[in-house]
């Protein structure tokens, strides 16, 4: 007890002495990354669900359309991209919901760190455990859709790049709807139209690789979209979280 | 400038000033739309390729213009509301959203009907129509989000943020859809926006566009006035206003 | 005038269904928007006026009493 | 009194909060200094939680002005947050993490690099010794609340804003917490609290009453 009391007085006299600015942010962001990763890895089902969903949706298409490899090959880039996009959307609703329900979100808002950066850490975890695995899994499903050789690497790279933008944009929607009891469907309605540019250039990259046009331009545009999203989305996420916590 | 912003803070002031402006916009809207319609339907020459079906342009293009402008105005209102906490701005934003969705619908519907004589099909994934369709979904998202909150203040803020996010995305969506379309373009020509349209064709179009804008302003003023009364119904000036008009 | 007769005007060079469908739908929607705005305003004013009358009946003192009566008795008198 | 007390001062001038055209409270003036326990009272729906959210910097759409150590809140926000510890209705404890992991995150969130020893000590002080590595989801509601309360010991902050901190805690825990609040105030800290539990009268205790008749501040 006495130790704590003496430090209370010290801090009251020198408010700035608590936590060094600059170093403190790195510590907080790192701890948030670590915490969210630990949380997700303790509930492995939630990490696996989007991947299983991805594989299932891809299985539906040959059954629903035709097993003809030539036909599948022409639509494979778009199918893989759309299915991955929907799979990433699936896990978006839970991005902030757990923290909202148990009160951690309030604490996140009151941390003496920029909320945008802490939100970014949470989005990064979402990408690491959803977007990245989807990108790594896509080539395997590409084989099942007879995706022409030479486009597999581009498929994985475009998905890895694009899904980072999707996580960032989607997090805005998740932050806006986290205070609503049934925000799930609304979230898709808000977010899907905003996903379209990423889809166009992502699927376009794979298409271009198949045609042998070189996908560098597409990947560059995907990178530019990601840079833009990285600059703007964290602020929108922070503002949205502040709105939701007041709801 | 500050004085003006401070005046805007008062819904009562907006209510008074809009009462004087409103008739002018109604008159302008009615006159411009009437002149533009008669001119466009009966007097403008038929298009050498599309014949008379091209007259759909006089409703399709003004609606499309308005649909985009309304989204921008909604985002600007959202920004004004978030930065200066001017409630009238949020009321305007709430009132224009359905109007914008309606305009998007008109432009989609007229575009689809126009597609039959031009392309021989009701729907073509034309760049403009596709962008319009996405815009329609964006409108539905903003309207749905505003309706989903129990607290009106939170709903207003959330809708403002979404409108601003949307307006940043609209040019990106538009350019990426244009690019996507040129990549997959089938061998048809785009229906609107050709260069070298003669004056007899674009003059009525201009008049119709102006008429639609006047209509938009008039409807927005009118509905915002209603919204002011609704939200301020417990304020004294509204009570007095209601008391006077027996 | 781009047409020689009224019948030609109506026929629109064979494109009549499309041109008139697009124009009619637009006109209908614009008129509906205006009618809705008007109905909304009238209903609101009627509601406000009814409330004002009710408050005048309820008490000569319009200030505080009126507000209280509205808040507590709104449902009772609305039927 | 040590000099440090002078530097802890939270003021509100003409504070008013309107939510959806309803005034929760108006013209509220507060001057809270170190060494005080301020209990915010009022019936349900009188805006107690909202007031605490405003005073803890979560809600920003209020009318009136807030000052932290004589500086407007807008400018002093960073310094204010570095001195604040807020515990809300929900304990903010992750069910899938152990109490130790929960505390580690909170400590890092404050920007402090730390070791396990202070966390263990904090858990022990709230009677959770032996539960350090049990996932919080397996603890009772009262024990989860205690994990949150361990933060009072873990990160020394002069200003405590506590919304119903006595919820779900047993009688001994209530007594210990109550005592802890008094000790905190006596050592120069400040406590802002809402609770249905009747606090023992002490010279540090002040009451702020919210209600339909408007706020009423008693010394």
User: Residue A24 and residue D111: Cβ atoms within 8 Å?
Assistant: yes
Using a CB-CB cut-off of 8 Å, the residues of chain B touching A240 are: 158, 161
The total number of residues shown for chain C amounts to 79
- C71, part of any domain: no
CB B78 within 8 A of CB B99: no
Whether this model's ipTM surpasses 0.90 comes out as: no
C43 occurs within a structural domain: yes
What's the Cα-to-Cα distance from B178 to each of A200, B63, C1, rounded to whole Å?
Answer: 10, 20, 37
Position of tokens 């629109």? C12
Q: What are phi and psi of D15, to 5 degrees?
A: -70, 135
- Asked whether residue C53 is assigned to any structural domain, the reply reads yes
- Residue D12: burial class (beta carbons within 10 Å; 0-12, 13-18, 19+): buried
Residue C7 counted as domain residue = no
Q: CA-to-CA distance for D147 and D122, rounded, in angstroms?
A: 9
Is residue C50 situated within a structural domain?
A: yes
Mean pLDDT of all residues belonging to chain A: 88
Among B30, B36, B45, B55, the residue to mutate for chain C (most C Cβ within 10 A): B55
For chain B, percent of residues with pLDDT exceeding 70: 91
CA of A94 vs chain B CAs: smallest distance (Å): 18
Q: Check whether D170 has a pLDDT greater than 50.
A: yes
D23 phi and psi, to 5 degrees? Answer: -85, 115
Q: Which of residues 181-200 of D touch A (CB under 8 A)?
A: 183-184, 187-189
- Domain ranges for chain D, please list them: 2-95+159-218
* Domain membership flag for residue C35: yes
Q: Which residues pair with D18 in a beta bridge?
A: D23
C48 part of a folded domain = yes
Q: Using pLDDT thresholds of 50, 70 and 90, give the confidence band for residue D198.
A: confident
D114 touches chain A (CB under 8 A): no
Show residues of chain C in contact with B215, CB under 8 Å. Answer: 30
- Tell me the CA end-to-end span of chain C in Å, nearest whole number: 59
Q: Is the pLDDT of residue B160 over 80?
A: yes
pLDDT band at D215 (very low <50, low <70, confident <90, very high): very low
Instruction: Check pLDDT > 90 for residue A9.
Output: no
Average pLDDT across chain D, whole number: 85
pLDDT reported for residue C70: 43
For Cα atoms B63, B196, B60, give the angle at the middle one, nearest 5 degrees: 15
Query: Which positions in chain D touch B85 (Cβ < 8 Å)?
Result: 61
Distance, in Å, from the CA atom of D58 to the CA atom of D75, rounded to the nearest integer, reads: 15
pLDDT band with cut points at 50, 70 and 90 for residue B185? low
pLDDT value at residue C68: 44
Interchain pair D111, A42: CB under 8 A: no
Q: What is the distance in angstroms between the Cα of A135 and the nearest Cα belonging to chain B? A: 22
Instruction: Tell me if B70 sits within 8 A of B100, measured CB to CB.
Output: yes
Q: How far is B89 from chain D (nearest CA, A)?
A: 16
The residue segments making up the domain with residue C48 are 30-60
pLDDT at D212: 54
Span D82-114, pLDDT tens digits: 899 999 888 899 999 999 999 999 989 887 777
| Contact residues for A241 (Cβ-Cβ < 8 A; gap 6+) | A96, A105, A108, A109, A115, A119, A175, A178
Q: CA angle, A52 as apex, A51 and A54 as ends, to 5°?
A: 65
Rounded to an integer, the average pLDDT of D34-41 is 89
Give C34's strand partners. none
Q: Cβ B52–C12 below 8 Å, yes or no?
A: yes
Residues D114-156: pLDDT tens digits?
788 899 999 999 888 889 899 999 999 999 999 999 999 888 8
Q: What is the mean pLDDT of residues A47-64?
A: 94
- The answer to whether residue D94 neighbours chain A at the CB level (below 8 Å) is yes
CA atoms of A163 and A131, how far apart (whole Å): 5
Assess whether pLDDT exceeds 90 at residue B189.
no
- pLDDT tens-place string over residues A171-188: 999 999 999 987 788 999
Structural domains counted in chain C: 1
Decide if C24 is inside a domain. no
B82-135: per-residue pLDDT in tens?
998 899 999 999 999 999 999 999 999 999 999 888 888 888 888 889 999 999
What pLDDT is recorded for position C74?
35
Q: Are B78 and B160 in contact (CB under 8 A)?
A: yes
Measured CA to CA, the distance from residue A196 to residue A177 in angstroms comes to 20
Give the residue on B whose Cα is nearest the Cα of C4: B42
D2-95+159-218 belongs to which homologous superfamily? P-loop containing nucleotide triphosphate hydrolases (3.40.50.300)
Q: What pLDDT is recorded for position A247?
A: 65
- Overall size of chain B counted in residues: 246
Evaluate whether D127 touches A49 at the Cβ level (below 8 Å): no
Instruction: Identify which has the larger pLDDT, C69 or D206.
Output: D206
């Amino acid at each position: 007890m006495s130790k704590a009391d003496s430090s209370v007085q010290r801090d009251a006299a020198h408010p700035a002495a608590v936590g060094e600015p600059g170093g403190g942010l790195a510590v907080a962001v790192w701890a948030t990354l670590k915490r969210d990763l630990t949380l997700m890895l303790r509930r492995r089902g939630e990490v696996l669900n989007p991947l299983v969903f991805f594989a299932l949706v891809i299985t539906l298409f040959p059954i629903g359309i035709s097993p003809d490899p030539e036909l599948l090959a022409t639509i494979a880039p778009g199918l893989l991209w759309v299915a991955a996009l929907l799979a990433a959307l699936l896990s978006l609703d839970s991005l902030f919901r757990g923290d909202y329900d148990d009160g951690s979100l309030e604490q996140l808002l009151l941390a003496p760190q920029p909320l945008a950066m802490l939100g970014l850490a949470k989005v990064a975890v979402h990408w690491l455990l959803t977007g990245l695995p989807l990108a790594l899994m896509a080539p395997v499903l590409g084989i099942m859709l007879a995706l022409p050789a030479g486009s597999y690497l581009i498929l994985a790279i475009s998905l890895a790049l694009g899904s980072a933008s999707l996580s960032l944009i989607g997090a805005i929607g998740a932050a806006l709807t986290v205070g609503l009891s049934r925000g799930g469907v609304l979230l898709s309605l808000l977010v899907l139209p905003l996903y379209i540019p990423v889809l166009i250039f992502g699927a376009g990259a794979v298409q271009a690789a198949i045609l042998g046009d070189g996908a560098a331009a597409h990947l560059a545009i995907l990178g530019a979209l990601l840079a833009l999203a990285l600059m703007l989305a964290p602020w929108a996420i922070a503002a949205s979280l502040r709105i939701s916590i007041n709801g | 400038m500050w004085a003006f912003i401070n005046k805007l803070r008062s819904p009562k002031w907006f209510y008074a000033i809009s009462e004087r402006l409103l008739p002018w916009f109604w008159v302008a809207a009615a006159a411009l739309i009437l002149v533009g319609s008669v001119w466009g339907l009966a007097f403008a020459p038929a298009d050498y390729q599309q014949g008379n079906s091209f007259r759909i342009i006089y409703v399709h293009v003004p609606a499309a213009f308005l649909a985009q402008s309304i989204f921008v105005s909604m985002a600007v209102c959202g920004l004004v509301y978030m930065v200066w906490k001017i409630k009238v701005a949020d009321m305007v934003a709430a009132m224009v959203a359905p109007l914008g969705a309606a305009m998007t619908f008109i432009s989609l519907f007229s575009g689809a009907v126009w597609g039959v004589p031009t392309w021989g099909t009701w729907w073509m994934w034309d760049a403009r129509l596709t962008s319009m369709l996405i815009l329609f979904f964006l409108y539905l998202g903003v309207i749905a989000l505003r309706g989903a909150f129990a607290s009106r203040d939170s709903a207003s803020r959330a809708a403002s943020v979404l409108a601003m996010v949307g307006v940043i995305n609209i040019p990106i969506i538009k350019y990426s859809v244009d690019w996507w379309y040129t990549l997959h373009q089938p061998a048809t020509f785009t229906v609107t926006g050709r260069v070298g349209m003669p004056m007899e064709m674009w003059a009525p179009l201009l008049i119709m566009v102006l008429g639609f804008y006047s209509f938009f302003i008039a409807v927005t003023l009118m509905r915002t006035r209603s919204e002011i009364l609704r939200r301020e119904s417990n304020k004294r000036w509204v009570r007095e206003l209601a008391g006077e008009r027996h | 005038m781009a047409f020689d007769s009224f019948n030609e005007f109506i026929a629109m060079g064979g494109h009549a269904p499309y041109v008139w469908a697009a124009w009619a739908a637009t006109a209908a929607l614009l008129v509906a928007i205006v009618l809705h705005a008007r109905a909304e305003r009238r209903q609101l004013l009627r509601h406000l006026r009814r409330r004002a009358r009710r408050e005048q009946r309820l008490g000569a003192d319009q200030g505080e009493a009126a507000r209280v009566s509205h808040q507590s008795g709104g449902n009772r008198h609305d039927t | 009194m040590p000099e440090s007390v002078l530097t802890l001062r939270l003021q509100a001038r003409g504070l008013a909060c309107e939510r959806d055209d309803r005034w929760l409270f108006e013209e509220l003036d507060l001057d809270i200094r170190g060494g005080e326990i301020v209990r915010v009272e009022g019936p349900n729906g009188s805006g107690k939680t909202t007031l605490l959210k405003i005073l803890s910097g979560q809600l920003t759409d209020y009318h009136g002005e807030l000052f932290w150590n004589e500086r407007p809140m807008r400018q002093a926000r960073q310094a204010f947050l570095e001195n604040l510890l807020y515990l809300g209705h929900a304990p903010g404890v992750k069910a899938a993490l152990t109490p130790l992991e929960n505390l580690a995150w909170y400590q890092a969130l404050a920007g402090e690099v730390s070791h396990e020893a202070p966390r263990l000590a904090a858990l022990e002080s709230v009677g959770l010794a032996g539960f350090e590595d049990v996932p919080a989801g397996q603890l009772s509601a009262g024990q989860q609340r205690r994990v949150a309360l361990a933060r009072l010991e873990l990160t020394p902050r002069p200003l405590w804003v506590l919304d119903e901190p006595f919820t779900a805690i047993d009688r001994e825990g209530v007594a210990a917490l109550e005592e802890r609040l008094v000790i905190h105030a006596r050592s120069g800290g400040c406590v802002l609290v809402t609770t249905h539990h009747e606090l023992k009268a002490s010279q540090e205790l002040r009451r702020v009453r919210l209600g339909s008749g408007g706020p009423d501040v008693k010394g």
